[in-house]
Structure 1
């Protein structure tokens, strides 16, 4: 018996290779992942960008990326000029994949003339991948989640 159904993956054909390359290149222009941000910050010296936590004060106090600037999304238009240098690229983050606060903060910053990227995975994946974070009590680190980071070693190979 021959199946009458179309493969759901190929129901819509993949893009032509040149179109796919342009799309994925553009994605890298707009996004950074937590591992790359962590590696750049850990390398020491000036990473060439500033990390911006766009969550509420309550969320910031629960934990944040060490060295990040705190600027809630709703206050970006009003306060970015006081906290950020337009000549330094900004990497925004919020809670995680289910939150678009970092996207909205990135949009507001871009409209104000800042170069900006969004950190994929946000604070959730920062913690899940085992990177150190700060709270009002000091620095903490959790064991990496083996579903998001290698159990042994720091390099996922990607």
Structure 2
């Protein structure tokens, strides 16, 4: 093991509080999490469209109750024509290890929609014991 005479944490100086504050506000403007989505839905504050961007098969087996399915690779002007650009869209995929939600959010925002990615995906939704629907809610894989 190498004995270092400098700090790896302090090697790169920390940003100013103003820059840090802006960074985290920007991050929150494009991300949400399972607990916040669940809370809003439970309290009738779900004036957002929740989209599962996984495959049709994965969605059919198990998805967040109330979510619609639009696989990320099928997002286009045609498949989103009925969506309102005034309504926030929240997308999710499998888990923190999946970038399908990120791809979906990029495609939707590229089409002019306001969008946030739900961190944790269906894996953390289920781990937190929240309601799911589908043909195999008990046996569907946790990750894809």
Fold shared, TM-score > 0.5 on shorter chain: yes
Relative contact order higher in (CA < 8 Å, ≥ 6 apart): 2
Structure 1 position 128 matched with structure 2 position 127: yes
TM superposition shift of 1:14: 1.7
Structure 1 position 117 matched with structure 2 position 120: no
Q: Is there any run of 5+ residues in structure 1 with no aligned partner, and where?
A: 141-158
Report the counterpart of residue 94 of structure 1 in structure 2.
93
Please give the root-mean-square deviation of Cα atoms over the aligned residues, in Å: 1.6
Report the counterpart of residue 36 of structure 1 in structure 2.
36
Report the counterpart of residue 15 of structure 2 in structure 1.
15
Range moving further from structure 2, 8-17 or 49-58: 8-17
Report the counterpart of residue 81 of structure 2 in structure 1.
81
Report the counterpart of residue 67 of structure 2 in structure 1.
68
TM-score (normalizing by structure 2): 0.86
Per-residue deviation, residues 4-47 of structure 1 (Å, max 9, x unmatched): 43222222222111110000010110011110000001112x52
Q: Whole-Å Cα distance in 1 between the matches of residues 7 and 121 of structure 2?
A: 33
Q: Is there any run of 5+ residues in structure 2 with no aligned partner, and where?
A: 139-144
Per-residue deviation, residues 93-139 of structure 1 (Å, max 9, x unmatched): 011111111111111111111111110111111111121111125x6
Q: Whole-Å Cα distance in 1 between the matches of residues 9 and 35 of structure 2?
A: 29
